[in-house]
Chain A
């Protein structure tokens, strides 16, 4: 699996197809996060913006490898494992991006609650924000896995489904990402940085299920 991950990571890095989603994320953050704003609010925004970016990164990884090259790798290791490596690479990229953004946003934000009433220690804020960022990264990757090859094979259906899926994952009640983000926003209002571990756990389980389903399907559906 290490060899597969290295191959996929190298493929992603060298293809430079990671640039558009990363630039999109930078633009999201540039518009929504300004230095001096309350830290938890900004971290909530950072996490929410990561979800569609993670989904796009999965799409980049899944569609980036030409089918014949994919077949060579799949013959050696089985199509399921080859596809899983592809999804994990995208998830890893999204997590790295999210962690970097969390650090930057924590540093440039003011460690206070809304209205500058309560002081929130930056480390505490980052500890509360990081699980939310991870929940969004993994849920975004799950949406990406379920809306690209081999689950949805035509681009015409896959892209709208991806957009709709990420929107629902961010706003709909009951989504672990939405629960985690609103936890941060509430914390920003009350001044209590609560570290919630339930949403990221639920998100991780959703992602595991989505990845397993997509990988299983990769071995049954020809391109």
Chain B
């Protein structure tokens, strides 16, 4: 310490500072989280503000979806606060929401960028929870991100309302008590598509799969192969393609050399746009194999993707969660208020995010509390209607929504740049319902809800 003699006064200063800090802190010890009983994290009654966290991809491959999700969230917040035309609030079967915020609190929000990376998404969600005091996190356009953020929300003790996530795992092996998914999943796509494909293409087909090399791709491939094999199709080959790939010609060439007569593209977003374009360029759709026309199938469709792929999507089958051309009251009300505000119809990503926000607000209102455990209870086995998908059930066993699934086809003669898909069939909910412990969903446990304090 000898070399340190000259700075004694500084040490004294520090000591005094530290001591006075402790003294000042003493009266506030009772406000510390560790001491409060029966409370929950980020209680709006304590902080005086109600913040929802909208965590969407603003950069990266799903930035288009993210931007649309954000538009839907802004619209939902407007409607919850009683601005605008109220959108689906008027058609929602539950009438708990009055357009006066949630439990009388004006809804505020913060936004963040997931970058479609688990790490970045968690960092962004964490800062929303810790810094901005968000009581609920929602959004995302990738299953990996949804699973990661859902786990974080479970640990932290806030509700997670998943955005666009289609992988079985979100409500399967990675399900969490604090997480809820309105969007449909790979299994439902397979179950809905199979009968339609059977009618259109027959039961004697050989399928070749190109699969995006990540979690969602795997579960979709599994769901589609098992559903199509059950009706007699044969799976010739399944090939994984890197998520970052933009040129799929190297993967299309082997398809030409195989005796497959159907190509299933388990791709989403930009991947699907590129792989489908490549497949069409290689003349796959003009091919005749085994005496049958060669066909292409895209299990998960969205309007944004159809727009990207242009004329290539004509006549191609796929499934979707929702489409703006639906004629029920809820969809019409939503399309109208979205269109009035932004000038174009919403995508399915926008729809699911809007609905999730409303469902959360409604559950809080019905529970009479923001406590995550009360919200979980209010949402579990909740049946509702009027949000664009007909009668829907939020199943308590895995927190997955069960509703009709749309099978769509690329339109031959689109009347506008938004009118790209036509609804071929509305598969009734019974046909896509499965057991919570179905093999494709097994291995997960909800655990108990975590209020975070």
A and B: interacting chains: no
Chain A interfacial positions (CB closer than 8 Å to B): none
